Structure 1
Amino acid sequence: MQSATGISENRRRSRAIVVLAKAAFAAAPHQEMARIADIVAAFAGVGRVVSAFSEQGRPSLRDALHDLLDGQYDAITILPLVLPMEPSFHIWLTKSLKRWQHESNRPWPPVAIARDVARSALMPAVLSELLAEGPDAPVPVPPEAVTEGSLVPAQKRRVLVCEGGPCNSAGADVLWGHLRNEQERLKLRVTGEGTMSAKSTCLGPCNLAPVVQVWPEGTYYGGVNEAALDHIISEHLLEGRVASEHAYEPNGRKQRLRAGCPQSNPMGE
Structure 2
Amino acid sequence: MKRILLLARSAATGAALREMEALRDQATSLPDVADALFAFAEEGSPSLRSAIETLIATPEPVLIVPILVPVEPSFLLGVKRSLQRWQGGDSRPWPEIRIAPPFSRQAPMRELLAIVIDTAEAETTAVEKVEAPPPLEGSVVPAQRRRVLVCQGGPCIRAGAETIWGHLRNEQKRLSLRTSGEGTMSAKTSCLGPCSLAPVLQVWPEGTYYGGVDEAGIDRIVEEHLLRGDIVEDLAYLPTGTKQRLRG
Per the TM superposition, whether the score is higher than 0.5 is: yes
In the alignment of these two chains, the number of paired residues is 245
Give the Cα separation in 2 of the matches to 1:180 and 1:220. Answer: 18
Change (3 A) 1:230 1:137: closer
Q: Contact between 1:15 and 1:73, CA under 8 Å: does it hold in 2?
A: no
Report the AA paired with residue 237 of structure 1. L
Given that 1:167 and 1:211 are in contact with CA atoms closer than 8 Å, whether structure 2 keeps it comes out as yes
The 2-side partners of 1:90 and 1:139 are apart by: 35
C-alpha separation in 1, matches of 2:12 and 2:133:
26
2:50 maps to 1:63? yes
Say what the alpha-carbon RMSD is for the aligned residues.
1.2
Aligned to 2:228: 239
Residues 50-100 of structure 1: CA deviation (Å, up to 9, x unaligned):
110011100111110012222x13101101011110121221111111101
2:175 is equivalent to residue 186 of structure 1: yes
Q: Do the aligned partners of residues 138 and 210 (structure 1) sit closer, same or farther apart at CA in structure 2, a change above 3 Å counting?
A: same
Counterpart selection for 1:134 from 109, 117, 120: 120
In structure 1, distance between residues paired with 2:87 and 2:13 = 30
TM-score, structure 2 normalization: 0.95
The one of 14, 23, 46 equivalent to 1:27 is 14
Residue in 1 that maps onto 2:41: 54
Separation in 2 of the partners of 1:43 and 1:132?
Answer: 24
Length-normalised TM-score, structure 1: 0.88
Partners of 2:152 and 2:18 lie apart in 1 by 29
Q: Does 1:123 align with 2:109?
A: yes
Unaligned 5+ segments in structure 2 are: none
Is the contact between residue 16 and residue 73 of structure 1 (CA under 8 Å) also seen in structure 2?
A: no
Secondary structure in 2 matching 1:88: helix
* Partner Cα distance (1:187, 1:240) in 2: 16
Partner in structure 1 of residue 165 of structure 2: 176
CA distance in 1, matches of 2:175, 2:131: 40
Structure 1 gap segments, 5+ residues each: 1-13, 260-269
1:106 alignment partner in structure 2: 92
Alignment partners' CA distance in 2, 1:84 and 1:157: 33
Which range moves more in the overlay, 213-222 or 73-82?
73-82
